[in-house]
Chains A and B, each alone.
Chain A
Amino acid sequence: MNALISLGNAYVRIFTPSSLLLMAAGVSVGIVFGSIPGLSASMAVALFLPLTFSMSPSMGMNMLVAVYIGGISGGLISAILLNMPGTASSIATCFDGYPMAQKGEAGKALGFGIVFSFLGSVFSFIILTFCAPLLANIALKFTPAENFGISFFALTMVAVLASGSMLKGVLAGMLGLIFSLVGMAPIDGTARFTFGSSSLMAGYDTLPTLIGIFAISEILITAESMGHGKMETIKMKPIKGFGFTWNEFVYQIPNAIRSALIGTGIGILPGIGGSTSGMLAYVTAKNMSKHPEEFGKGCPDGIVATETANNATIGGAMIPLLVLGIPGDGVTAMMLGGFLIHGLSAGPLLFVKNADVVYGIFAACMICITMMLLIEFFGIKVFVQLLKIPKHILMPLILVLCCVGAYATNNRIFDVQSILLFGLVGYLYHKFRLPTTPFVLCFLIGKMLETYLRRGIMQYKSFGAFFQRPIFDAFFFVAIGVVVWSVYKEYKMYLNKKAVKASEQS
């Protein structure tokens, strides 16, 4: 009951013209960023971080939520119209969206995408609103042992995330752990790997690291491909309403519910973001469908599955972020930076100390998706125009804003210089085909892991005593199981590949 009252209060606080206007702006910018390939939702959140400085914590976080939501759903526009996914989450939207657009059904494809994005988000936000406070209550009773178990579990998700080329994926994460060690050690404050530099004493700050990895590297990658590449022109037939009939809508409901469940579930697991959930939902929809042969040729089911799932991931990913302070993917990692800026620490205590901010975020989620629905519906033509801004003008402007954002975090020029370092890391990762998400996840969790481990050992005297805590046991053994299972799967895949090669040669 308390939850509903708090939620009601949050709605009342949010319904002011200025905050609605700011959120509408956030959603619009998010959509633009989401829809331009090469500009990601993480980048949009990075740019908005400094803008929220002067706002109240609640207002600032609401705006970031708005950008996040816009950024994830914006990807469908360019995926359908240009066959280029604006964000990684909407890769699978291309498979059916573009063929539909080629058949002249772009309007219908967009209609499906927009409406089911909305429904997917609604589903996940309802789960978020009612589950997160309950989980936070449990998490409040955690000792360092349980927290260590959860951090350890989150780290092992990197192995799952990297399946396909696990060695490289895990190594990519190890570098993140190594960077997280720089600076003063937790508990006793011993300086590690600082090479005598006083700037390094405090370690690499979260925000510049993320901006570097996500935004700066993207600029360098774009620079590489600027020599060629042209924008295509888009033709669109005018449509009525959302372009599909009531019967078509009803037909998609089972598909949508399944995808929403997949999306929310994947979102809750740390480290696995919208791109995975979108693909997974697409494949599942295809396997469950009565006419799988139509997938990939312009079947609306594919768009519905992907877009429902990737938007449902948002609410899922916010659960570990708010309850435990562990980000679910790149964008939520940036959101964690937002919490830090406003002096809030994400985690179970947030629900006690800053309940207004938490419920504000819940309320903002609901309002922002409604705005997203309206803005995308009425503004689709405008967004198509914006896709035409030349990148050679856009990218440098974004770089300057990133530098300013990094500087504004701590007023240290060292942070601006470190974004270049991490930009280079991100670029080299791209060159050597190493995934960046494990790096970010490990960088953020590394510090937590060590702090909790050492704190726990101080409290319980030995590591063996951790095993007396059932919740720690559960997470620890699931984590070990996850590692064993992924290694086994990887080994099987390796053998399969070998067998295929051998049969090719013979």
Chain B
Amino acid sequence: MFIKKYGDMIVGGFFMVLSAGMMIMAKMLPKSKIMDIGPDFMPMCIGIVTFALAAALAFLNVKNLKARKEEAEKMEKEDLDYKRMLISFILILIYVYLLQPVGFIVTTILYLPFQMYALAPDEKKTKKDIIQLAVTSVIFTFVVFFLFRYGFKIILPAGIFTINL
């Protein structure tokens, strides 16, 4: 609901701040000595255009805010599961940052069942289902690892275990 009402204003505001910051940083870039347009030219152009567009979007929305609010009220509430999405995001975050130090095999075997459990619909969270998820994860991890190790000759991050298979 919040996004429907104020989404475009947030987008406009965000882009205004971003492009303003970019223009300031572009100002600090060194000018080219040999030609008219240096490395600062494109960022400056893009910054100006973005700022103008973002300002227009924000302005139009502030102007039409009342109409938009009415429109948003009429629409039915969406039934979205932010808990699942947030947990997934955190799990992915942990996964990509541990991948290098801990290694592909260990992280993936641990990550997969948690992620699957987090996504699973509520009626599919019995003990039997959990075992099934764990088994799938282990098999999948090893298949991918060996496929890449021997099939494609790509060595995935080894981490704490050095496997010399």
In the complex, the answer to whether B43 meets A400 with C-beta atoms within 8 Å is: no
The residues of A that contact B56 with a CB separation of less than 8 Å are 167
- The size bracket of the interface on B is 35 or more
A377 at the interface (CB under 8 A from B): no
- With beta carbons under 8 angstroms apart, the residue of A178, A226, A417 that contacts B96 is A417
Number of cross-chain contacts by CB at 8 Å: 174
A450 at the interface (CB under 8 A from B): yes
In the complex, the answer to whether A50 meets B46 with C-beta atoms within 8 Å is: no
The residues of B that contact A399 with a CB separation of less than 8 Å are 92, 115
The residues of A that contact B50 with a CB separation of less than 8 Å are 171, 174, 178
How distant is the Cα of A425 from the Cα of B154 in the complex, in angstroms? 29
A216 at the interface (CB under 8 A from B): yes
The residues of A that contact B38 with a CB separation of less than 8 Å are 188, 190
How distant is the Cα of A65 from the Cα of B148 in the complex, in angstroms? 22
Q: A226-B84, A417-B96 are in contact. Are A462 and B36 (CB under 8 A)?
A: yes
In the complex, the answer to whether A432 meets B96 with C-beta atoms within 8 Å is: no
- With beta carbons under 8 angstroms apart, the residue of B54, B96, B116 that contacts A403 is B96
Contact pattern, A 466-506, Cβ under 8 Å of B = 1, otherwise 0:
00000000000000000000000000000000000100000
The residues of B that contact A400 with a CB separation of less than 8 Å are 108, 111-112, 140-141, 144
Q: A223-B81, A226-B121, A403-B95 are in contact. Are A396 and B43 (CB under 8 A)?
A: no
The residues of B that contact A392 with a CB separation of less than 8 Å are 116, 119-121, 124
In the complex, the answer to whether A227 meets B81 with C-beta atoms within 8 Å is: yes
How distant is the Cα of A326 from the Cα of B8 in the complex, in angstroms? 30
CB pairs A–B below 8 angstroms (22 shown): A53-B154, A54-B153, A168-B11, A171-B57, A178-B18, A224-B80, A226-B121, A392-B116, A392-B120, A392-B124, A396-B111, A400-B111, A403-B95, A403-B96, A404-B104, A408-B154, A416-B99, A417-B97, A432-B3, A432-B10, A433-B7, A457-B37
List the interface of chain A (C-beta within 8 A of B).
50-51, 53-54, 167-168, 170-171, 174-175, 177-178, 181, 185, 187-188, 190, 192-193, 216, 219-220, 222-228, 390-393, 395-397, 399-401, 403-404, 407-408, 411, 413, 416-417, 419-420, 423-424, 427, 431-434, 449-450, 453-454, 457-458, 462, 501
List the interface of chain B (C-beta within 8 A of A).
3, 7-8, 10-12, 15, 18-19, 22, 25-26, 29-30, 32, 35-39, 41-43, 46, 49-50, 53-54, 56-57, 60, 67, 79-82, 84-85, 87-89, 92-93, 95-97, 99-100, 104, 108, 111-112, 115-116, 118-122, 124, 133, 136, 140-141, 144, 148, 151-154, 156-157
The 7 tightest CB contacts between A and B, nearest first, are A185-B39, A392-B119, A227-B81, A396-B115, A190-B39, A413-B100, A223-B88
